[in-house]
Amino acid sequence: MTLQALKDIFGDCKRTDSLCKFKTSYETSNHPDFYIIDDRHGHPARISTDIADKHLSVTNETAKQINIVKLDCCLFHNTHHSKCDCLLFDDHKAFFVELKDTGNLAGRKTTRKKAIAQLKATIELLQQEKIDLSALVVEAVICFKAINDRSPRVSDSSRKEEFRSSYNVSLTEGNSISF
């Protein structure tokens, strides 16, 4: 999977009102530490190196090139099935990421269900377009903004197993990923 391969299939940003610094859904970073932020509702995820902004922390110790594709409200905009916020990948790993603001009145349970639906929709779309992820270790990450210790959720096991058996993808909930 490469950025170009994705571009050939899905094209580029579908917004006419993009406020992104780079008017494209496809970015790269080789910064050892950077952050993905869920800016505002209806806007795509943003990449930043400012720790004050952190929602999802990305550790890239060897400072290699990490590919970032902004999906929801960018590459896919106003589509019937909402997609997850972004995809980050290199030659070995891929992370489908859905960022959720915990200020959301709906609560974590409802928000998590929506996040899972968005992650599934994205993974299934890539599978339908025959994008080969088999060479990569793939993870689906639900990232709630508030970091706090959680008591065990029993049904996490069942969700994880569903993602593993259906997509060969690990489902996790957290605020950091690393390459």
Q: Which residue ranges make up the site for other proteins (CB under 8 A)?
A: 102-103, 107-109, 112, 144, 146, 148, 150-155, 157-158, 161-162, 165
Q: Minimum distance between the CB of residue 162 and other proteins, rounded to whole angstroms?
A: 6
If the CB atoms of residues 78 and 165 are measured against other proteins, the closer one turns out to be: 165
Query: Which residue, 23 or 153, has its beta carbon nearer to other proteins?
Result: 153
Cα-flanking dihedrals φ and ψ of residue 85, to 5°? -70, -45
Complex with other proteins: residue 71 or 140, whichever CB lies closer:
140
Q: How far is the CB of 32 from other proteins (least distance, A)?
A: 28
Alpha-carbon distances of 12 from 15, 66, 85, 172, rounded to whole Å: 9, 18, 15, 28
Rounded to whole angstroms, the Cα distance separating 94 from 99 reads: 16
Q: Shortest distance, CB of residue 148 to other proteins, whole angstroms? A: 5
- Distance from the first to the final alpha carbon of the chain: 16
Q: How many of the other CB atoms lie within 10 Å of CB of 138?
A: 20
